Amino acid sequence: MEKQPTYIETYGALTPPESNPGVGWLTRLIVNLFLGGKDCWAARAGNPQEAPLIDMVAKLCPKMGIQTPPELIIYTSQQPNAASITGGKVVVSEKLLSIMTPEEVESVMGHELAHHRHGLRDTVAIYGGVIAGDYAYQKTLSPKLTRLIDGVKNARAKMALYIAKPVMEFLGFVGLINLYQQKIEYESDRESGLVTGHPEVMADALNALGDYGNKMHQQERLERRARMSDAEKVVTDTVEKIEPKWVRRILRNPFEVLGSHPPIKLRVEALKAQEAQMHPDKATLPDASVIR
């Protein structure tokens, strides 16, 4: 299928304003620190390149039961990303607009608006679950583990277990939180498919993110290889030949298994199933990109 023009190819390149005092310090901090962004500004209704994005969000909000459209923030970054952040704001990177079609951007906005609509519910569920889970753990399993460690005779082993116990407790709770957040991502994908009417477009948007990530990873690999000696290249080639793909994926993204976002391939498969359910008359569906 012929590649459709991206949002920026359709509406033109975005130019940051010279000054934008309307963006608060907390928003700038989140964009700079957590999203790796640089300049950020509120989308301008009078700007022909940004107005379609504002209209897109405004049309989606009534379909999702959102009365007041959230503030829309655009930021510059080398990474394509969009997020719903504190203060009722939705942020989107200029890079994302440069790799996705307007239809794909609309699906991503639907996904982020779902986060925006359920933000309070999800926050209460996550932190309520952590508090309840911690209370249950401290009352049941934790004392048993402490008695088990106390019974270890080897002093070094006992010290290592005492150090490992809080670390494993922390990782366990992070894993549980991220599992719930993965559930939220699947729900937001599904809601985006419902409001736009075409889950396959959201699948295409995710594939665009995956393809871009693979391209950047390959470019970084070539740059690292250019700095290697001949001996280092031989060792690297040997490791890549015997290294299982699942190990390679975890090394690229250690949080993929219990991260806050499910693997793109699984999200695409869920969206394809939703597309088939919503449009059973369609003969074929687009294949997911190969995520290595």
Give residue-wise pLDDT tens across range 111-137. 999 999 988 788 888 778 878 888 888
Tokens of 179: 């599992």
Q: Return the closest-CA partner of residue 249 out of 229, 266, 268, 235.
A: 266
Percent of the chain scoring above 70 in pLDDT: 90
Tokens of 155: 């002093």
Mean pLDDT of 69-84: 92
Give the C-alpha distances (Å, rounded to integers) separating 284 from 38, 280, 287: 41, 10, 9
pLDDT in tens, 214-250: 898 889 888 988 998 988 888 888 887 887 776 666 6
Give the C-alpha distances (Å, rounded to integers) separating 108 from 96, 138, 277: 10, 40, 20
Give the pLDDT band of residue 261 (cuts 50, 70, 90): confident
Q: Return the closest-CA partner of residue 203 out of 287, 276, 277.
A: 287
- pLDDT, position 236: 85
- pLDDT, position 284: 52
Query: Could you give phi then psi for residue 226, rounded to 5 degrees?
Result: -65, -25
Query: What's the distance, Cα to Cα, between the start and end of the chain in Å?
Result: 22
Candidate ranges 103-112, 134-143, 281-290; pick with highest mean pLDDT: 103-112
Q: From CA 102, how far away is CA 75, in angstroms rounded?
A: 17
Mean pLDDT rounded to a whole number for the chain: 86
Percent of the chain scoring above 90 in pLDDT: 42
Give the pLDDT band of residue 39 (cuts 50, 70, 90): confident
Topology of the domain covering 1-117? Zincin-like (3.30.2010)
Give the pLDDT band of residue 289 (cuts 50, 70, 90): very low
- pLDDT, position 190: 96
Mean pLDDT of 196-209: 95
Mean pLDDT of 2-20: 87
- pLDDT, position 109: 97
- pLDDT, position 194: 95
The segment(s) of the chain belonging to CATH 3.30.2010.10 are 1-117
Mean pLDDT of 59-84: 92
Mean pLDDT of 153-175: 86
Give the pLDDT band of residue 257 (cuts 50, 70, 90): low
Whether the predicted pLDDT of 149 surpasses 70: yes
Whether the predicted pLDDT of 274 surpasses 80: yes
Whether the predicted pLDDT of 291 surpasses 50: no
- The pTM (predicted TM-score) of the whole model is 0.83
Whether the predicted pLDDT of 103 surpasses 60: yes
Q: Which residue has the higher pLDDT, 214 or 291?
A: 214
CA neighbours closer than 13 Å in the CB half-sphere of residue 185: 20
